[in-house]
Each structure stands twice: as structure tokens, then as C-alpha cells.
Structure 1
Amino acid sequence: MRIGLAVPQYGAFATPEAIDEVARAAESLGFDSLWAADRILAPLEPSDPYPGGDGTMPEQYRTFLDPLTVLTLAAAVTTRVRLGTSTLNALWHSPVLLTRTLTSLDVLSHGRLDVGLGLGWLRDEYRAAGVQWEGRGARLEEWLDVAETIWTRETVRHDGERWTIPPSVVEPKPVQSPRPPILLGGFSHATLERIGRRADGWLAVGLPLPALTAMWSTIGLAADAVGRDASALRMVVRVNPRLTEGEAPAELVPNVGTLAQVADYLLGTAGAGADEVLIDLQQTTNTTDELLTTAEALIKRLRA
């Protein structure tokens, strides 16, 4: 199983020094990937509850660095780890402009980029970005059409409902061929079907293992329905644990629990179909030393 770590990005960890130190150390410790998330604001009176815990957005999210800027710095101080977004809210950006940035990161990292995309959950952010909340699924479908065209066609042209590109040359192309892997996050039936139909994998979160298994089966059936090889798809499971000294009730794991409980959950995701796990320690540690000590203990247990 591949093991990823969330790169410092928010709260007390939103500093260039933390990104540099943790990225270098994570590669040395044997982590396979570094991941960055996407938040643009923390509303004082949110339009929607946070999808976790008691519905309150973590206090650390008040300070949040741009994910692709963070990954660019991480790319500059590493050579091996892959660099992923979990998840990038694609619809806040023009596909032409965002694919340019993503391509640049793939080129500058020598082909280490995983493009994880999602639709988000907070209507306030869509309003702030000037993007319509309704019709997100259809908008993402066309967004993916544009990105695919830019990344894989010598002559780029798109005539769609939302975006128009005249016949053009768009260079450079990504290092990875035909394009960087695209992973999609989400849990609705439409999202799971979309993953099976056109993505390279699923960005999941720490749900009960039976739920992960059932959703992964839905993705596989959607892939089979369009003649795709379901076994080639990836499942990456993200957890943002709050680590405790004493054992937590089983129903709270992996969101709350001891290091051993969280590690055992992550190992168990392999049986549900996961081939990579992603651990975000920024909500349970306060310093880079504490974060790296915890990360080292986790990876040792997972590799044992």
C-alpha cells in the first residue's frame, strides 16, 4: 500500500519553512506522496455545515495557502514523492487557465502530479468565486472535456456550452502521457458513476469499511458498463484524525483514536479496495517536530 502525507498548508503550518522541512523529511521517511487541499475562505456564518464532526469548520482553516503554490515549493525540494491535490475545486477556475498551471507543475516536477478534483460542499465559496452552484455536475463534465482536449490533442479546439477555444496550439503538454492521472472526490451516485466512466481513480475519506466497499463496487460497475478496466482504477483514502492517548470508541475511528487505531483502520482499507492512504496531521499536531514525529511513528506501523 502506498502512503501519502498532507503537506503543511493551513493553520500554524502555513509557512514556507514548514513546507520545506516536512516535504524533505517525508521523502526521507519513505512516504510515497504529498497532498494539498483547497479552501478559499472561512465564513463567519457558513451557508452549509462542515461535512464532519459537529459540522463546525476546523479553526485552522482560517489560514489556508493555495494548494498548487504549496505543491510547487514541495516539488522544488523533493525528487521522488508524487504530488497530489485532495481535492482541488476545479469549477472555481477556467479549465484553460487551470490546466496551464497543472501542466506547469507536472513539467517542473518531472511528471509527478496527480490531479485530484472535487465539487466542494460550501456554497459561500462558489458565490465568492463567482461560479454558479447549480449544475455543478454538468459543468465538471465539460471542464474535464476541455482539460482532456488541451492535454491530449495537438490542435486544441472546443465548442461547448460554457467555454469556447478556437483552433489553437497549447504547449507544453504534460510530462505524463497522455496526461496526469485524474482522481475525483465525492460520494453521490452521479459522482461514483462519473469516476468509473472517465476518471483514473477515487479520492475517498475515512468512512466505515463496508461503505467504502459498496461505493467502490459502484465505481467498478460504472467502469465495466463503458468497457473500461475497473482493476486499473485507484482508491486513495484520506483521513484527518484527532489522535488520542486512550482508545476511542470503534465508531469514531479513524476520525478520532489512538495512533494504533488509526493505523489499523488504514491497513484495513486495503480490503475495501484502497491502494493508497493519505494522512493529514495538521489538526492533531502543533509544530513541525510533533507532526514529523507522529508521521514517522505512523509510517513505521503501516510498513511493519
Structure 2
Amino acid sequence: MKFGLYGLHRDRNVDPAVLARRARLAEEAGFESLWVGDHLALPAGEGNPPRLEAMVALTYLAAVTTRVRLGVGLIVLPQRQPVLLAKQLTSLDVLSGGRLTVAVGAGYVEPELNAMGVTLAERGARTYEYLAAMRALWEQAPSFEGRFVSFSGVVQHPSPVQRPHPPIVVGGHSAAAYRRAVRHGTGWYGWGLDVEQIVQARQALAEAARREQRPDGLGELEITLTPPEPPDLDTARRYADAGVDRLIVELEGIDDDKVDGVIAAVGETISSTAGPASRTPAG
């Protein structure tokens, strides 16, 4: 079992000193990965906390850590320009020494998508196409022709450290998300599910795998989950028995003065399970 930490891009963590200190604390506690979310413009009047932009936050985290993997998830792919995003993600992978994991989703906040020039109806089609366009750039293909993005006679250098590209994790609980995970992902990311619900999600993924052809080379689908609350040792073991490979602890709803204690407590759980995975980052 691997453990990640989600939320260092929000709330008081936008203070650079707090962000750096907690990132290093999590790394020393044995967390395998640090994850940030991707929202650019949320609806007004909903009490949204301050948050850093995902690419900028990960660049800072790459600079203040040395071993822990860095995850962006879920990046709302339809509202990102894929040629620019491919370059940003490559740059992050290079600057972090090959520690980047990319988790993508189609998005669900209609006002945010609209603000970036995307309709809710076309988000799925854009997600498929943008993934294909980014892969083309990472694999040095000089051209790509699609409905939403096209290019010809261009390449990007350098290439990602991780070849052919950083791991791609596909998030979401819909049938379409399960299909995208099977077709395109090295892994799948679920959010807020208890042990029984993750069993149901794995069954849905297995059903999608029976209907969709998984490309050679992707290997077995890795299961990542953010549970409803920080797990104790018994709960972590139950998730592991249910087939979860990585648990990502969410900081939202935890009082700021308790965050360091939560990081330390999960560190104890890490020590009691598989040990500090972050000391041997996966490729």
C-alpha cells in the first residue's frame, strides 16, 4: 500500500513557508506522493478557499522536496490547452527528476468549463482528444489532426524523463470514466469511497475491461483512492484487501492546527504497513 497526501495547494498552505514545511514533513513521514487539485475559477458565493494553480504549486513542490512523487489530480483536461499542458507536464517531470504522476478527469463544474470556453456536452470528446494530442507530442510525432486541436511540423524538447511519458491516472465514477481508465490509464482514481463502494467500483472497472480493449504495455490498472477520512491501520488494511494500491489522504475539513498531527499519524500507519514507500519512488 502506498500513501499520498492531497491538499497542500489550498487554505493556509498557500503561504510558501507553510507549503514547504508540510511537504518536507510528509516526505519524511514516508508519504509516497503529494497531490494537488485543479480548479481555475469556481462559482462565486460558495465559500471557496484560496488555492494555488496546480502547475505552479507542483513546480514549487518539486523544488522543496527530493524523493516524494508529485501528482496533479484531477487535472480538468478539457479546460487546458493540450500543447501547452504537454510542455508544462514535461517540464515538471524534468525538473522533478521523473517524479510526476498525472491524473486527469473530464470536469463537472459547468461555470468553470464555460469560463474556459468549453461546454459540458463536449468535455468527454475533448478529454479523449487532448490525451491523444499530448501523447503525440511526448512521442515526438510531428503532426496531429483533431476536432479541437491540430498541429503540424512541430516537436517539443526535451522529452519527459519517464518514457514515453509520466504515468496517466484517469479519475471519475461514471461509466465513461471507467472506459477512459481502461483505454488510456496506467491507473484509476476514485474519490470519497468506503470499502464496500470501492469493491463496487472495481467490479465496474472489470466490466469496462471486458468491453474495452486495453493497449499493450499499460499493464494492470493501479487503483488510487481518496477515502472519506484519514484511515487508521485497520481501515488501510481493509482497503488493501479490497484491491486499493494507493490511499491519498485529504486535508479538507481538518483544522489547520491539526494538519501536522494528521501527517504524523498517517506516517505511523505507513510505518506499520509497507514502510516508507517514498524512499523508493516508482518510475
> Where do 4+ consecutive residues of structure 1 move more than 6 Å?
none
Q: Tell me, yes or no, if the aligned pair for 2:12 and 2:18 is still in contact at 8 Å.
A: no
TM-superposed CA distance for 1:20, in Å, is: 0.6
Residues 1:72 and 2:72 are matched in the alignment: no
| Aligned mates of 1:269, 1:180 — CA distance in 2 | 25
SS of 1:173's partner is coil
SS of 2:18's partner is helix
| Aligned mates of 1:231, 1:219 — CA distance in 2 | 14
Residues 1:201 and 2:163 are matched in the alignment: no
Corresponding residue for 2:34? 34
Corresponding residue for 2:89? 102
The TM-score normalised by the length of structure 2 is: 0.88
TM-superposed CA distance for 1:68, in Å, is: 1.4
TM-superposed CA distance for 1:93, in Å, is: 1.1
AA at the equivalent of 1:159? E
- The CA deviation string for residues 11-34 of structure 1, in whole angstroms up to 9 with x for no partner, is 222211111101111111111100
- C-alpha distance 112-206 of structure 1, shift in aligned 2 (>3 A): same
| Aligned mates of 2:40, 2:63 — CA distance in 1 | 24
Q: Tell me, yes or no, if the aligned pair for 1:42 and 1:62 is still in contact at 8 Å.
A: no
Residues 1:83 and 2:70 are matched in the alignment: yes
Which runs of 5 or more residues in structure 1 are unaligned? 46-56, 240-253
TM-superposed CA distance for 1:228, in Å, is: 4.7
The TM-score normalised by the length of structure 1 is: 0.82
TM-superposed CA distance for 1:207, in Å, is: 1.3
| Aligned mates of 2:259, 2:28 — CA distance in 1 | 15
AA at the equivalent of 2:81? S
| Aligned mates of 1:262, 1:192 — CA distance in 2 | 28
Corresponding residue for 1:13? 13
- C-alpha distance 263-15 of structure 1, shift in aligned 2 (>3 A): farther
AA at the equivalent of 1:83? L
| Aligned mates of 1:132, 1:29 — CA distance in 2 | 42
AA at the equivalent of 2:238? G
TM-superposed CA distance for 1:41, in Å, is: 2.9
| Aligned mates of 2:268, 2:95 — CA distance in 1 | 30
The CA RMSD over aligned residues, in Å, is 2.0
TM-superposed CA distance for 1:231, in Å, is: 5.8
TM-superposed CA distance for 1:302, in Å, is: 4.2
| Aligned mates of 2:116, 2:266 — CA distance in 1 | 37
Residues 1:148 and 2:159 are matched in the alignment: no
Q: Tell me, yes or no, if the aligned pair for 1:156 and 1:166 is still in contact at 8 Å.
A: yes
| Aligned mates of 1:94, 1:122 — CA distance in 2 | 18
Q: Tell me, yes or no, if the aligned pair for 1:113 and 1:180 is still in contact at 8 Å.
A: yes
Residues 1:232 and 2:220 are matched in the alignment: yes
Q: Tell me, yes or no, if the aligned pair for 2:105 and 2:170 is still in contact at 8 Å.
A: yes
SS of 2:225's partner is strand
Q: Tell me, yes or no, if the aligned pair for 1:13 and 1:282 is still in contact at 8 Å.
A: no
SS of 1:87's partner is strand
| Aligned mates of 2:206, 2:159 — CA distance in 1 | 30
SS of 2:153's partner is strand
TM-superposed CA distance for 1:216, in Å, is: 1.8
Which runs of 5 or more residues in structure 2 are unaligned? 273-283
